[in-house]
C-alpha cells in the first residue's frame, strides 16, 4: 500500500515538512470510507475528536484521512466547528489539505450558516496566506452552479490581486476560470480594468473560458501593462 519511493516523491512535490508514508490518494479515501461505513453512529463530538487525533501526529496521510472524513460527514458539523477548521488550516501548510477543506467542508458550512461569511471576511485579511486562499475558495462551489456571492469574492480578490504569493495568484485565476461559465459578464467586468495589474498566473487561468475577443483584450492589457480603454 505504501512505498518509500512514493513518500519521498510526494514530500518533495508538496515541499512538505510533514511525515509521508507513501499511501496513494485512492487508498487514503478507501480507508476513510471503510472506517465511516464501520462506524455509522459517529456523531459530531466523535468526529471532532477523531479528526484532531488524526491531525496531531503530523503524518500527511493521516491528515488526509481526517479531511476525507470531514468531507463525508460535513453535515454533522455546525458553525461553532469553524474553530477546529481554522486550527487545521493554520497547521496544514499545503494545498493538498487546504483546498479540499475549503471547497467542501467550509463551503458547505458557509452555505448552511451565512453568518460565517464574517469569518471569511476575517480570513481574507489574515497574515496566513492559506487562510486568505481559503476565504476565496470557500465561495467557489455555489458560484460554479451560477449562484453564490461573486461580489464578496471580487472584494477579497481586489485586496489580493497584486500579491506575490503564487497560491493566491493561482486561486484568483482558478476561481475566475471556473465561474466564467455562469458569471462570464461578472468576470469580464471585474477583470478588464484590472488585467494590467494582475499576474500572469492569474490572467492565464482567468481567460481560459472567456470568449476569444474578451480573452485577447485581457491578455493584451496584461502584456502591455495598459488598462483596457
Domain-embedded: residue 109: yes
- What does the pLDDT look like over 107-120, one tens digit per residue? 999 999 999 999 99
Domain-embedded: residue 41: yes
- What does the pLDDT look like over 187-211, one tens digit per residue? 999 999 999 999 999 999 999 999 9
Domain-embedded: residue 132: no
- CA atoms of 147 and 182, how far apart (whole Å): 8
Domain boundary among 89, 119, 149: 119
- What does the pLDDT look like over 89-138, one tens digit per residue? 999 999 999 999 999 999 999 999 999 999 999 999 999 999 999 999 99
Domain-embedded: residue 203: yes
Domain-embedded: residue 224: yes
Q: Which domain holds residue 98?
A: 1-119
Q: Tell me what percent of the residues of the chain surpass a pLDDT of 70.
A: 100
The CATH number of the domain holding residue 40 is 1.25.10.90
The CATH number of the domain holding residue 201 is 1.25.40
56 and 147 together in one domain: no
pTM of the predicted protein model? 0.95
170 and 112 together in one domain: no
The answer to whether the beta carbons of residues 157 and 172 sit under 8 Å apart is yes
Judged against a pLDDT cut of 80, whether residue 1 lies above it is answered with no
pLDDT of residue 29: 96
pLDDT of residue 229: 76
Q: Tell me what percent of the residues of the chain surpass a pLDDT of 90.
A: 98
| Count of domains for the chain | 2
12 and 107 together in one domain: yes
Domain-embedded: residue 134: no
Q: Could you tell me what percentage of the chain is helix, strand and coil, using 3-state DSSP and rounding each to the nearest 5?
A: 75, 0, 25
Domain-embedded: residue 190: yes
- What does the pLDDT look like over 152-171, one tens digit per residue? 999 999 999 999 999 999 99
- CA atoms of 189 and 217, how far apart (whole Å): 12
| Per-residue cell: 193 | 480594468
Amino acid at each position: 500500500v505504501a512505498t518509500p519511493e512514493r513518500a519521498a516523491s510526494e514530500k518533495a512535490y508538496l515541499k512538505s515538512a510533514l511525515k509521508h508514508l507513501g499511501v496513494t490518494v485512492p487508498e487514503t479515501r478507501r480507508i476513510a470510507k471503510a472506517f465511516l461505513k464501520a462506524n455509522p453512529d459517529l456523531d459530531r463530538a466523535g468526529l471532532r475528536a477523531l479528526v484532531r487525533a488524526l491531525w496531531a501526529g503530523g503524518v500527511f496521510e493521516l491528515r488526509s484521512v481526517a479531511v476525507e472524513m470531514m468531507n463525508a460527514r460535513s453535515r454533522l458539523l455546525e458553525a461553532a466547528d469553524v474553530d477546529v477548521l481554522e486550527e487545521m488550516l493554520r497547521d496544514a501548510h499545503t494545498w493538498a489539505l487546504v483546498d479540499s477543506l475549503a471547497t467542501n467542508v467550509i463551503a458547505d458550512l458557509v452555505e448552511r450558516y451565512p453568518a460565517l461569511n464574517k469569518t471569511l471576511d476575517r480570513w481574507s485579511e489574515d497574515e496566513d496566506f492559506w487562510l486568505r486562499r481559503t476565504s476565496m475558495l470557500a465561495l467557489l462551489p455555489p458560484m460554479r452552479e451560477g449562484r453564490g456571492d461573486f461580489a464578496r469574492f471580487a472584494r477579497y480578490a481586489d485586496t489580493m490581486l497584486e500579491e506575490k504569493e503564487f497560491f493566491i495568484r493561482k486561486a484568483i485565476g482558478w476561481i475566475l476560470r471556473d465561474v466564467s461559465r455562469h458569471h462570464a459578464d461578472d468576470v469580464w467586468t471585474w477583470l478588464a480594468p484590472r488585467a494590467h495589474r494582475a499576474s500572469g498566473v492569474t490572467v492565464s487561468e482567468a481567460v481560459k473560458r472567456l470568449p476569444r475577443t474578451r480573452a485577447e483584450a485581457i491578455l493584451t492589457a496584461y502584456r502591455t501593462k495598459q488598462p483596457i480603454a
